[in-house]
Structure 1
Amino acid sequence: MFCANRLSSVLASGKPDTTMPSSAREPSGLAALVLMHTDESFKGAAYLSEAFTDPATAHSFEATHSPWNIAAKTDLHLFEYYQRPENARLKRRFSLAMEAATKLEPAEAILSGFEWAKLPKESVVVDVGGGVGATTFLLAKALPELRFIVQDRPEVITDAQKYWDEKAPEFLRNNRVRLLAHDFFAPLPSDFHGTTMSAFLLRCIIHDWPDALALKILRNLRAAAHPSMHLVVVDVLLPYTCADTHLGCEIPGASRPPAPEPLLPNGGAARNMQYFLDFQVRFVASNPVDWLRAAVQMYVLGNCQERTLGHFVSLAAQGGWKVVQVYHIRGSAFSQCVAVPL
């Protein structure tokens, strides 16, 4: 016999199980996050050894050569897989999960670091790959003098329309928030090449893609950027095991104080969540928030990765951007890299 407790209560839908068939039942946001990782992530993790030993995938940088691809027996990228009609429930679950993921961060995290309020009045911030717009919602509430564009794939923008209709329809009516269906691997529309744009925001986007595809995104944005444009990339920055004396650490805000001895400079096991985000699987039964974060496996799901600061600085430069400021946000797993056009 089993009984719901404090930990398992996050999985509750709030509705009796008898009200609808399980295939149609929509989970709550946090439950969607749990279910996504125990489905796609864990299934993919079971095929790590195959991915490492198969000559076709062992040294591949293709986004579709991930352990999850082997587990799902598909050549589609995870996001393409979600678009198939038979996977509509999984796509919806992913949208709910990503919305919930923003709530695992301090509410003020996106407002810390980069000084959004210093952008010129009526400036436009483009939330690139912004999903339904959960991050934009936090910014729009706090920054009434700015305008925003949430950009994502057409299927996601359909969900975004529902999200804003329920959450803040007045933002759409007064044109403070605009929803744009666009593939960020394609050049931005010509009307984006204007001076009203002040910043591109990429929150948890670059880490979703191997270097070649991440470069394609950065270069498309650079082609549309004017000289005073800002690029704000919010991702995990993996700390070095040794002292931060590597490429990029001369950038303002980049260096982090080393952990006290006898710990390694990067904190050792105390900081292992960020490395697990990059690659491995961890289950911490006593702390569901740590477990949820650790279960996001970049390599397992998309043959992609978290990056060190030096890696990202080099990648950004190849994409036409110069990193000029780094913010390590207190209480957050993510850092902000601010770049300007080269």
Structure 2
Amino acid sequence: MASSLTTLAEIISAGIRDIESTYHNAGITPPSLDEPSHPTSPAPPTPLDNNPSLDQQKRLVIAAAAQLIASIQTPVDVLKESVGSLYTAATLGFVIDIKLADVLNASGSKGLHVDEIAAITNVDASHLARVLRYLATRHIFRELSPDVFTNNRISALLASYQPLEEVNKNKLARFDAAPSAAHTSHYADEGLKIATFFSSYLQTHTEYPLPSTKPSTPPTTSTSAAMNGNGKRFAGDIISDGINITSLNPGDVVVDVGEPHLRYVVQDLDAQISAAKKFWDEHCPDAIRDQSVRLQVHSFFDPQPIPSAAIYFLRIVTHNWPDTDVRNIMSQLKAGAGRASKLVIFDVLAHHTCRSPSLSWDQPHASHASGPNGSNGSNGPNGPNGSNGSNGSNGSNGPNGSNGSNGSNGGGDHSHSSVSNGGPNGSRDHSHSNGSNGDASGSSSSSSSSSVPYPLLGNLGIAGAGIDTIVDMHMLALFNGKERTEADFKKLGEETGWKLESVRPGVLATLVYSCT
């Protein structure tokens, strides 16, 4: 029998062959870390960016490569690299603060010497060299020659793609077109600060050590931009498929879905609704004027003002809250629900690292070879993004399937579920997503975690649940929130009068409840 090392190597080799073949057949060169950055805009998408089969092969290679490294590297080095990764967050936050990726973009492919960077950023050249060398060692930035650095395919994502003088003049707007930089800045700022209290918080169960991280606090600019950009991972069809839009009748009450026979009532707290009104006035004023969209101030901790809806849904809401609060939210919805009402939760499913064949739906989204896993396609050309910084809000979800405020993880108000009143007039244009075709939920006929090839972890490790487990720790540190397993969601339903009927896995899972 082949050793686990040999098996891991074979998974990598087979995956690379398939990946290179897919690119070759499409007439596209496989991506390189050393691709030059684009000075004025992010790298353009390729036809293979949202290819589900290719995505699956990449995940298997990544999972096997990470496990092979962990197997071969000495345990002490694994621990040292892991604990030292705090400096990755710190250095990334620093380079974003000094707008280094923008500085390097302006220099073109020839790069800049640290002395030149120092003159522009007013930072010591020696410090710059050491920080950049630390990051380049981890394949973020590229050292062309001694102390001469340029962007690579990864660091280019940290650029704002605005003229440097504009970035310096308007710091609040620098993340508008740079969601990756915003996301990184949020983790390097709020995340890194709160993480210092992590151990003592878990041991003492005290209140949040930093009041600024409570969900009721308005978010930073980077947090709002990060969450808005993060929401674009999820194709609009996840929502329409998840609530079975074709089964609804005119007049049914549903949530934020672009269909011609539905109207929308977007619910949130006062601050988010005020921001949403401004956004809708700027981007889709007709929807407000003809009342195809109505903005309603509501806290989901209070009784639901629209009773007996056909469907209530919570989109990227529950992970912001501990079980006690989620039970309260679900109980309020149950109290307002009719006998035929459904509750649909769209959120990330946590997956066990061990094999879990006993759970019929418990499978990492990475294992779905037939679904696009919530591709990065835009969520409708015209749908506004709603209020920035709401905590798990559906924000102002545009009639074209836009994602609203996408659930801010770092602040904003309590941001609640939205409901929509069906009406004969409906909204005008209902294209949900420009993402890849296929089942937007990412579901498929692939099997559960028990079918993940030996000896990979049941959740595919960092390739399948790496980001999800990071977010889980982030939610725990910030709000005492959590990413939940299927069993967790089932238990919450049982405790609040909802029966979990079905789970559709994907990068954003769909959990459908009925009244008991």
Alignment of structure 1 residues 303-318 onto 2, 5 Å: 303-318=480-495
| 1:121 counterpart = 2:250 | yes
Q: Distance in 1 between matches of 2:232 and 2:276?
A: 17
Q: 2:469 aligns with which of 257, 266, 275?
A: 275
* Structure 2: runs of 5+ lacking an equivalent: 1-99, 106-150, 363-444
| 1:334 counterpart = 2:450 | no
Aligned-pair identity in percent equals 28
Are residues 261 and 237 of structure 1, via their aligned partners in 2, closer, same or farther at CA, if it must alter by over 3 Å?
same
| Superposition deviation, residue 299 in structure 1 | 0.8
SS at match of 1:237: coil
Whether the 8 Å contact between 1:247 and 1:310 is mirrored in structure 2 is: no
Q: What CA deviation, in whole Å up to 9, does each residue of 1:161-180 have, x standing for no partner?
A: 12222332222222221111
**Matched AA of 2:342:** H
Q: What CA deviation, in whole Å up to 9, does each residue of 1:212-266 have, x standing for no partner?
A: 01100000111111111111101111123222315987xxx99735312222333
Q: Distance in 1 between matches of 2:505 and 2:237?
A: 13
Alignment of structure 1 residues 166-315 onto 2, 5 Å: 166-189=282-305, 192-193=306-307, 195=308, 197-240=309-352, 241-246=354-359, 256=448, 258=450, 259-273=452-466, 274-279=468-473, 297-315=474-492
Whether the 8 Å contact between 1:238 and 1:307 is mirrored in structure 2 is: yes
Q: 2:214 matched to which residue of 1?
A: 78
Whether the 8 Å contact between 1:328 and 1:334 is mirrored in structure 2 is: yes
Q: 1:320 matched to which residue of 2?
A: 497
| Superposition deviation, residue 91 in structure 1 | 5.0
Q: Distance in 2 between matches of 1:176 and 1:152?
A: 17
SS at match of 1:263: coil
Q: 1:157 matched to which residue of 2?
A: 273
Are residues 114 and 257 of structure 1, via their aligned partners in 2, closer, same or farther at CA, if it must alter by over 3 Å?
farther
Count of aligned positions: 281
| Superposition deviation, residue 96 in structure 1 | 3.5
* Structure 1: runs of 5+ lacking an equivalent: 58-63, 83-89, 127-135, 280-296
Whether the 8 Å contact between 1:235 and 1:334 is mirrored in structure 2 is: yes
Q: Distance in 2 between matches of 1:96 and 1:41?
A: 15
Q: Distance in 2 between matches of 1:203 and 1:25?
A: 26
SS at match of 1:112: helix
| 1:100 counterpart = 2:292 | no
Q: Distance in 1 between matches of 2:171 and 2:459?
A: 44
| 1:3 counterpart = 2:3 | no
Q: 1:27 aligns with which of 175, 186, 191?
A: 175
Q: What CA deviation, in whole Å up to 9, does each residue of 1:37-83 have, x standing for no partner?
A: 32222221233233234x243xxxxxx43xxxx2xx32x6623222x
RMSD (CA atoms): 2.8
Whether the 8 Å contact between 1:243 and 1:266 is mirrored in structure 2 is: no
Q: What CA deviation, in whole Å up to 9, does each residue of 1:96-133 have, x standing for no partner?
A: 3332221123343333343122111232224xxxxxxx
**Matched AA of 2:511:** C
Structure label with greater radius of gyration = 2
Whether the 8 Å contact between 1:198 and 1:228 is mirrored in structure 2 is: yes
| Superposition deviation, residue 21 in structure 1 | 4.7
SS at match of 2:215: helix
Are residues 171 and 254 of structure 1, via their aligned partners in 2, closer, same or farther at CA, if it must alter by over 3 Å?
farther
| Superposition deviation, residue 3 in structure 1 | 0.3
Are residues 328 and 49 of structure 1, via their aligned partners in 2, closer, same or farther at CA, if it must alter by over 3 Å?
same
SS at match of 1:201: strand
| Superposition deviation, residue 336 in structure 1 | 0.6
Q: 1:286 matched to which residue of 2?
A: none
| Superposition deviation, residue 93 in structure 1 | 4.7
| Superposition deviation, residue 23 in structure 1 | 5.6
Are residues 47 and 11 of structure 1, via their aligned partners in 2, closer, same or farther at CA, if it must alter by over 3 Å?
farther
Q: 1:290 matched to which residue of 2?
A: none
